[in-house]
Amino acid sequence: MPVQRPEPLRPRRPGRAGLPLATVLSLTLLVLAAQPSAAACDDPPPRGSAYMGVGVETHDGVDGAPVSDLAAQTEGVDVSSHQGNVAWSTLWNSGVKWAYVKATEGTYYTNPYFASQYNGSYDVGMIRGAYHFATPDTTNGATQANYFVDHGGGWSRDGKTLPGVLDIEWNPYGAACYGKTPTAMVTWIRDFLNQYKARTGRDPVIYTATNWWKQCTGNYAGFATANPLWIARYATAVGELPAGWSYYTAWQYTSSGPTVGDHNKFNGALDRVVALANG
């Protein structure tokens, strides 16, 4: 009987960089475990960090370059804590004549730069006002209107103070419509508007985007007779307006303007800005 010879030992197949395959697999698992998960990457920003137009580019897109100067339009800007200390003199010298400053969000946040931004715009000659970023999923509209008025959102007939603005748009912290049905959203907005007017005597401006308004209010038309519209659309034309409004009072047309990113056109000459301030 022939003698069976033992098979020669085969060398272990190396993995990447000459390492044994088992070692490579272990290292790969360690690397993957260290990577941030998809859920972590999609975590919402911290409460209080929202600003006008926070979701416009994402949800509405950008259509063309910012508009050029138009007849009977007055340039303005809006700012929040993201801008910090603003070069107001530079803006004034470039033709910016009015400004809105974020004062509050929900009932849990006040802009730490509000006083310096609000007074700084006034000191260079601008007509200015304050805005409130609405969070309808946290407290009711009347409560947020009171918080806004109590923390910088008031109004006075001095010819330099614009009525307050309700910034109602895509929710940066969760569901686009803050978990509300169109009917519930309209009720929330109405409560805010009514309470603001009761406190200040002025109908506040509504800042929104047409697509959000359609989605989250069912394109409700009932506020157009009393509340000026500030429309957000980053495009060469303002496009379709929400139901009820036949014209806009202000238009946020870009988030990438000079000195301060958010630039706006007031739909009228400077005397019309003064008229809005005076009520």
Give catalytic residues, as residue numbers: 78, 167, 169
User: Collapsing DSSP states into helix, strand and coil, what is residue 103?
Assistant: strand
Token pair listed for 77: 């800007």
The residue type of 230 is: W
Q: How far is CA 119 from CA 107, 160, 249, in A?
A: 23, 11, 24
Q: Where do the H-state alpha helices sit in the chain?
A: 21-34, 38-41, 56-60, 88-93, 114-123, 141-150, 182-200, 210-217, 270-278
Token pair listed for 214: 């359609």
Q: Are 67 and 253 in contact (CB under 8 A)?
A: yes
Residue 123's contacts (CB-CB under 8 Å, 6 or more residues apart) are 88
Q: Which residues of 217-248 are buried (b: 16+ CB within 10 A; e: fewer)?
A: beebeebbeebbbbbbbbbeebeebbbebeeb
The residue type of 222 is: G
Q: Which of 187, 178, 236, 240 is nearest to 209 (CA)?
A: 240
